[in-house]
Amino acid sequence: MGARIERVDTAAVVRGSLQGRRFNPGGLAFEASLLLMLLVSLAVLVTLLADIIGGAIPVFRDRGLDFVTSGITLDSDTAGVWTGLLGSVAITLVVAVVAFPMGIGAAIYLEEYAPGNSMTRFIQTNIRNLAGVPSIVYGLLGLAVFVRLVDLIGLGGSGSTAGRNVVSAGITLAVLVLPIVIITASEALRAVPDAIREAGFGVGATRWEVVRHHVLPAAAPGVLTGTVLALARAFGETAPLLVIGVATGFFSAGSASVFDRLTGTYTALPVVVLSWSRQADPAFKEHLAPAAILVLLVVLFVANAAAITLRNKYDRDW
């Protein structure tokens, strides 16, 4: 009875709040500063790239692919990256052979088999920590362990450089990227929905059958993407190679047998870049080093593109 209900003109209220958009200087300034940060970081990248490409252009203009297919010499007119490229590819192959099975196996154990207790969590945390260890530390490990190991098992070649070859370098870099492989493979396995596992167990499959037939195939794209990226990381790594005695000098691998190449002295593309940038002849520093960097970048770019293509092709919405 008594209380009078105040009538609100809803339409008028809505109209009032929708019209008359106000200028918001704080928001605008924030947006502008975010944009500025993006542009600055992009500018740094672009400058770097422009510098490298600018330095590399004369080399590719004058010599074309001859630069890629020539070996290392002291003569800046004929020196090329072929030896380094070969060494890097060989090292990366060793990395793949060692790190793939170990990394994927470890990830499968951690995700599918290990009990979910504090020990497992402790291990997982420390694998993440390992991924952050400076690469030079792995170089020291490689020098102390793998160089000797490779020599001991007879793959070390001979002479003062015994054990310092692509095998020990590959094993060292494999250990370096192992945490990355384990982490990415674990994430890919974890992304496979439990419903798939339940379906497998539900028809009487053992754990191994569920993993082998359902979980692994479903996780394969993610696992592959991660491992390709890990390989790219190994391909561009320099510091550990310097520690474990990559040859930065000049040597010929032209007529050597595969075994000799595997067990003998070697070099790698990033190390070639480093070596050239320290040469007295300015042609090395100003043109050949940027050209070698460009070759390195192209290889990494192709690897990343392959990883992205793989992921997009097989990516599944669960």
Partner 1 sequence: MNRAVTHDGEAAVAARGPGHVASRPISATVSDRSEPLADNPDIFKVRGLNVHYGEFHAVKGVSMAIRQNEITALIGPSGCGKSTVLRCFNRMNDLIEIARVSGSIEYHGVDLYGRDVDPVQVRRHIGMVFQKPNPFPKSIYDNVAFGPKIAGFDGNLDQLVEESLTRAALWDEVKDKLNGSAYALSGGQQQRLCIARAIATSPDVVLMDEPASSLDPIATLRIEELMQDLKEDYSIVIVTHNMQQAARVSDRTAFFTVDTEQTGQRTGVLVEYDVTSRIFTNPREQRTEDYITGRFG
- Using CB under 8 A, list all residues that contact partner 1: 115-116, 193, 195-206, 209, 213-214, 217-218, 316
Tokens encoding 174: 């494999």
Q: Smallest distance, Å, CB 127 to partner 1? A: 21
Q: Which is nearer to partner 1, 60 or 201 (CB)?
A: 201
Torsion-angle region of residue 80: left (phi > 0), alpha (psi -120 to 50) or beta? beta
Half-sphere exposure of residue 98, counting CA atoms within 13 Å on the CB side?
Answer: 23
Rg (C-alpha) for the chain, rounded Å, is 28
Q: Smallest distance, Å, CB 183 to partner 1? A: 22
C-alpha distances out from residue 121 to 110, 128, 233, 301, Å: 9, 11, 26, 35
Q: Which is nearer to partner 1, 80 or 200 (CB)?
A: 200
Report how far residue 68's alpha carbon sits from residue 82's, in angstroms, rounded to the nearest whole number: 5
Q: Which is nearer to partner 1, 64 or 193 (CB)?
A: 193
Q: Smallest distance, Å, CB 207 to partner 1? A: 9
Q: Smallest distance, Å, CB 226 to partner 1? A: 19
Q: Which is nearer to partner 1, 64 or 217 (CB)?
A: 217
Tokens encoding 16: 């009032």
Q: Smallest distance, Å, CB 318 to partner 1? A: 9
- Give the largest Cα separation in the chain, rounded: 109
Q: Please answer whether residues 167 and 228 qualify as being in contact, where contact means their C-beta atoms are separated by less than 8 angstroms.
A: no
Q: Which is nearer to partner 1, 114 or 137 (CB)?
A: 114
